[in-house]
Amino acid sequence: MKLVEVLQHTIWVDAIRSSEPIVLDCGANRGDFARWAVDHLGATVYAFEADPILAATLPTVPRLHPYNVAIAGEDGTMQLTRAKNRCTSACFNPQLEGTETFTIAARSLESIRQEHGLAFIDLIKLDIEGAEIEVLENISASFLAHVGQISCEFHDFLDATQRPIIRKLLQRLQQSGFVVMPISFWSYGDVLLINRRFQSVRRWDRVAIATYKYRTGIQRILSRSLSRVTRRG
CA 105 to chain CA centroid, Å, is 19
Is 193 a residue whose pLDDT tops 90?
A: yes
For 175, the enclosing helix (H) or strand (E) is helix 163-175
Residues facing residue 150 across a β-bridge: 124, 193
The beta-carbon contacts of 157-163 under 8 Å, at least 24 apart in sequence, are 157/184, 157/186, 157/187, 157/189, 158/130, 159/130, 162/130, 162/133, 163/188
146 shares its domain with 104: yes
* Cβ proximity of 173 and 185 under 8 Å: no
Strands 98-107 and 44-48 come out as unpaired
For 105, the enclosing helix (H) or strand (E) is strand 98-107
Please give the residue that has the higher pLDDT: either 47 or 207: 47
* Cβ proximity of 31 and 66 under 8 Å: yes
Residue type, 143: F
The mean pLDDT of 53-60, rounded to a whole number, is 93
30 shares its domain with 78: yes
65 shares its domain with 92: yes
Strands 44-48 and 22-26 come out as parallel
166 shares its domain with 224: no
Indicate whether 133 belongs to any domain: yes
Coil, helix or strand for 12? strand
197 shares its domain with 219: no
Q: What is the pLDDT of residues 147-177, one digit of tens each?
A: 999 999 998 888 889 999 999 999 999 999 9
Is 16 a residue whose pLDDT tops 90?
A: yes
What is the count of structural domains for the chain?
Answer: 2
123 shares its domain with 220: no
25 shares its domain with 93: yes
Q: Which domain holds residue 115?
A: 19-201
Residues 6+ apart with CB under 8 A from 39: none
Indicate whether 13 belongs to any domain: no
103 shares its domain with 208: no
123 shares its domain with 217: no
Q: What is the pLDDT of residues 90-132, one digit of tens each?
A: 455 555 555 678 899 999 999 999 999 999 999 999 999 888 9
